[in-house]
């Protein structure tokens, strides 16, 4: 029990030495570490509440997503029916109530239509369920309803793309060290450290950046437009900067071209007016389409629609053949640049809302670090002195264990790439207080055993043995609380739980195994007749 072979002593010391060594890079400022060529070593990351910075949680607008899903299906259905030989005539397409329904004009071809639709649906998930249910109602009406699995799959696909788009946009903004994590089914968490303006970031992420070019419907009666009535095949959409004063305009429902066919977008200035504009370059197919449409519609106005709002509706003065165009609108340099970034990084497949935002100024973060370090140091000194005056040599061993433990916890955190938050510092301080509990248990037990008349060696042996069981049980229950905190806690609470859990694991090692080794070596060396404890 108190017998420590040499290899055991060496491995205990080695394990602790490694733990302490790994913690060292954390104490060296990053810039210094880089100069020394050890910048790549694992270090403890500081949470935003300590480093300062912004945390944004974005949530997909699922109703918008469901709508998009229906619109996409509508397009697919139209194409598929047209592709049939001969084409199947359909009409009265509706997307209300979260379902897509249409009417097949020729009653005899309903089955053929359903047959074709089946090829559009895909199996989703493990259950063998398909992503859409196809039903025939009243023998001529076909109804497509997205299944739950299908919607989940659509959400997942959209969020994957959205995360990529968000990442691209943030990178393009020149943000330093952003963290972008998909969270749960429909959320994305964005964290940017330091003093960076979250407002611009939010404005950029809040844009879907769906760009469409649509012809203006000149046949629409201005009175109808004012009342929101559009001619067949057209729609009324907002046009806030309309020179005519009416904030609406009638445009053709079908887009001539969309932002999907862009390969580049840049901020530039109009050569005549010197106003900021966004210059766009189409891909080859988009360029061809644009050339054809502009050739066919010379002297007619066309609308540039962004996220359902018209930016401007200039006249096509001549065919535009080079595959390049300029988007004008009432831009400032900043807003034109933002739009260029948004267009370059692609449109978001789903609208994102900011549901949580936390910004901590770097000053407060620095204050918190200072206060946290001070509190930890004072706590450590107070506990160390108290343990020493209470248990003498045994207290000193416990103190040694506590100090090493602090470094080992940091080392383990660095290895796990864990983040230290302000509640994490509280976890540290608390761990300093509770880690010595194991030693208190042991030392009190040794005292008891001595009172019962055991020899020093026997008392120590018994003390460690009896106390170890208690320590194990107490720590298991403590860990249960920690694990629950870790699983259910959000950001800050998780940061606390991480330190607590690591602390529980390492403190059992330092407070029990390490001190037992120290005590046993001392007992063997001096063979004391009585213990001063």
Partner 1 sequence: MRLLKLVPDNTNIGFVRLRVVAFVITALLTVAAIGAVATRGLNMGVDFVGGLMIEAKFATPPSLDAVRSNIDALGVGTSSLQQFGDPGTISIRLPVPESNDPGATNAVVNKVDASLKKQFPGVVFTRTDTVSGKVSGELIQNGVLAVVLAVLGIAVFSWLRYEWQFGVSTFVAIVHDVLMTLGFFAITQLEFDLNIVAAVLTIVGYSINDKMVIDDRIRENMRKFRQMDMKALIDLSVNETLPRTVMTSVTVFLALGALLLFGGHVLRGFAAAMLLGVVVGTYSSIYVSSSLLISLGLQPLRIAKPEAGRPEAERVGP
By CB under 8 A, name the one of 441, 459, 498, 511 that touches partner 1. Answer: 441
Residue 57 lies near partner 1 (rule: CB under 8 A)? yes
Name the nearest CA neighbour of 154 among 129, 183, 186.
186
Give yes or no for a contact between 18 and 411, defined as CB atoms under 8 angstroms apart.
yes
Give the separation between CA 462 and CA 291, rounded to whole angstroms.
91
Cβ closest to partner 1, residue 415 vs residue 479:
479
By CB under 8 A, name the one of 4, 39, 41, 59 that touches partner 1. Answer: 59
Cβ partners under 8 Å of residue 510, min gap 6 = 16, 401, 402, 404, 405, 408, 435
Measured from the Cβ of residue 14, the count of other Cβ atoms closer than 10 Å reads 10
Cβ closest to partner 1, residue 349 vs residue 372:
372
Task: Name the segment binding partner 1 (CB under 8 A); options: 78-86, 166-174, 271-279, 355-363.
Answer: 355-363
Residue 12 lies near partner 1 (rule: CB under 8 A)? no
**What binding mask, one character per residue, do residues 408-437 give for partner 1 by CB under 8 A, x or -?**
--------------xx-xx--xx-xxx-xx
Residue 6 lies near partner 1 (rule: CB under 8 A)? no
Residue 356 lies near partner 1 (rule: CB under 8 A)? yes
By CB under 8 A, name the one of 113, 205, 404, 412 that touches partner 1. Answer: 205
By CB under 8 A, name the one of 14, 21, 374, 416 that touches partner 1. Answer: 374
Residue 62 lies near partner 1 (rule: CB under 8 A)? no
Quote the least distance from Cβ 450 to partner 1, whole Å.
10
By CB under 8 A, name the one of 375, 400, 403, 415 that touches partner 1. Answer: 375
Quote the least distance from Cβ 236 to partner 1, whole Å.
20
Cβ closest to partner 1, residue 116 vs residue 309:
309
Give the separation between CA 9 and CA 524, rounded to whole angstroms.
14
Cβ partners under 8 Å of residue 110, min gap 6 = 104, 136, 139, 140, 142
Task: Name the segment binding partner 1 (CB under 8 A); options: 153-161, 235-243, 300-308, 373-381.
Answer: 373-381
Which residue(s) pair with 309 in the sheet? 306
Expressed in angstroms, the distance from the first to the final Cα of the chain is 20
Q: What are the percentages of helix, strand and coil residues in the chain, rounded to 5?
A: 55, 20, 25
> How far, CA to CA in Å, does 304 sit from each of 85, 230, 289, 309, 338?
36, 18, 15, 8, 16
> How far, CA to CA in Å, does 187 sit from each of 37, 180, 190, 355, 441?
38, 11, 10, 9, 46
Query: Binders of partner 1 among 79-108, rule CB under 8 A?
Result: none
Half-sphere exposure of 159 (CA within 13 A, CB side): 23
Quote the least distance from Cβ 145 to partner 1, whole Å.
26
Cβ closest to partner 1, residue 413 vs residue 432:
432
Cβ closest to partner 1, residue 120 vs residue 523:
523
Quote the least distance from Cβ 461 to partner 1, whole Å.
9
Give yes or no for a contact between 320 and 291, defined as CB atoms under 8 angstroms apart.
yes
Cβ closest to partner 1, residue 233 vs residue 240:
240
- HEC profile of 275-329: CEEEEEEECHHHHHHHHHHHHHCCCCEEEEEECCEEEECCECCCCCCCCEEEECC
By CB under 8 A, name the one of 144, 256, 343, 387 that touches partner 1. Answer: 387
Task: Name the segment binding partner 1 (CB under 8 A); options: 8-16, 115-123, 241-249, 372-380.
Answer: 372-380
Quote the least distance from Cβ 361 to partner 1, whole Å.
4
Query: Binders of partner 1 among 142-201, rule CB under 8 A?
Result: 198-199
Query: Binders of partner 1 among 285-314, rule CB under 8 A?
Result: none
Residue 220 lies near partner 1 (rule: CB under 8 A)? no
Query: Binders of partner 1 among 450-509, rule CB under 8 A?
Result: 451, 464-470, 473-478, 480-482, 484-485, 488-490, 492-493, 496-497, 500
Give the separation between CA 135 and CA 525, rounded to whole angstroms.
87
By CB under 8 A, name the one of 233, 240, 322, 361 that touches partner 1. Answer: 361
Cβ partners under 8 Å of residue 265, min gap 6 = 278, 279, 280, 281, 339, 340, 341, 343, 344
Cβ closest to partner 1, residue 114 vs residue 426:
426
Quote the least distance from Cβ 458 to partner 1, whole Å.
14
Give the separation between CA 145 and CA 131, rounded to whole angstroms.
9
Give yes or no for a contact between 496 and 372, defined as CB atoms under 8 angstroms apart.
no
Exposure b/e, 508-519, CB count within 10 A at least 16 = b: bbbbbbbbbbbb
Residue 63 lies near partner 1 (rule: CB under 8 A)? no
Quote the least distance from Cβ 228 to partner 1, whole Å.
20
By CB under 8 A, name the one of 27, 371, 416, 521 that touches partner 1. Answer: 371
By CB under 8 A, name the one of 391, 397, 407, 514 that touches partner 1. Answer: 391
> How far, CA to CA in Å, does 214 sit from each of 95, 247, 418?
22, 17, 51
Quote the least distance from Cβ 188 to partner 1, whole Å.
13
Asked, as a colleague might, if the bond just before 86 is cis with ω within 30 of 0, I would say yes
Which alpha helices (DSSP H) does 452-514 contain, by range?
456-488, 491-508
Size of the site for partner 1 (CB under 8 A): 86
């Amino acid at each position: 029990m108190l017998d420590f072979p040499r290899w055991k002593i060496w491995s205990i010391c080695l394990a602790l030495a490694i733990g302490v060594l790994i913690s060292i890079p954390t104490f060296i400022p990053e810039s210094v570490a880089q100069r020394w060529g050890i910048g790549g070593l694992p270090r403890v990351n500081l949470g935003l509440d300590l480093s300062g910075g912004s945390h944004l949680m974005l949530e997909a607008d699922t109703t918008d997503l469901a709508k998009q899903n229906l619109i996409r299906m509508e397009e697919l259905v139209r194409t598929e029916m047209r592709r049939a030989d001969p084409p199947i005539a359909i009409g009265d397409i509706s997307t209300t109530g979260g379902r897509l329904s249409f009417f097949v004009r020729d009653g005899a071809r309903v089955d053929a239509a359903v047959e074709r639709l089946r090829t559009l649906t895909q199996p989703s998930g493990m259950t063998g369920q398909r992503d859409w249910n196809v039903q025939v109602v009243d023998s001529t009406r076909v109804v497509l309803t997205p299944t739950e699995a299908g919607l989940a799959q659509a959400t997942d696909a959209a969020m994957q793309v959205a995360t990529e788009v968000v990442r691209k946009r943030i990178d393009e903004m020149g943000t330093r060290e952003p963290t972008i994590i998909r969270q749960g089914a429909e959320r994305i968490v964005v964290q940017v450290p330091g003093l960076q303006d979250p407002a611009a970031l939010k404005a950029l992420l809040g844009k879907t950046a769906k760009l469409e070019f649509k012809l203006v419907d000149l046949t629409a009666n201005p009175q109808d437009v004012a009342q929101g009535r559009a001619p067949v095949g057209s729609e009324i959409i907002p046009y806030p900067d309309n020179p005519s004063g009416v904030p609406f305009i009638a445009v053709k429902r079908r887009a001539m071209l969309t932002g999907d066919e862009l390969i580049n977008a840049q901020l530039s200035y109009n050569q005549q007016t010197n106003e900021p504009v966004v210059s766009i370059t189409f891909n080859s197919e988009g360029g061809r389409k644009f050339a054809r449409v502009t050739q066919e519609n010379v002297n007619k106005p066309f609308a540039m629609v962004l996220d359902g709002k018209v930016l401007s509706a200039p006249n096509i003065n001549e065919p535009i053949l080079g595959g390049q165009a300029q988007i004008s609108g009432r831009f400032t340099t900043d807003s034109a640049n933002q739009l260029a970034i948004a267009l370059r990084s692609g449109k978001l497949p789903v609208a994102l809302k900011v549901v949580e935002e936390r910004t901590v100024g770097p000053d407060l973060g620095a204050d918190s670090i200072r206060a946290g370090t001070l509190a930890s140091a004072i706590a450590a000194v107070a506990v160390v002195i108290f343990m020493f005056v209470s248990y003498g040599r045994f207290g000193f061993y416990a103190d040694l264990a506590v100090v090493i433990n602090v470094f080992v916890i940091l080392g383990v955190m660095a290895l796990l790439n864990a983040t230290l938050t302000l509640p994490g510092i509280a976890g540290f301080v608390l761990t300093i207080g509770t880690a010595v509990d194991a030693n208190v248990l042991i030392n009190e037990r040794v005292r008891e055993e001595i009172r019962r008349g055991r020899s020093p060696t026997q008392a120590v042996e018994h003390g460690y043995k009896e106390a170890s069981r208690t320590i194990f049980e107490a720590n298991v229950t403590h860990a249960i609380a920690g694990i629950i905190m870790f699983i259910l806690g959000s950001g800050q609470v998780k940061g606390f739980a991480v330190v607590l859990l690591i602390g529980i694991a390492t403190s059992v090692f330092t407070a029990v195994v390490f001190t037992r080794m120290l005590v046993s070596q001392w007992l063997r060396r001096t063979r004391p007749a009585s213990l001063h404890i």
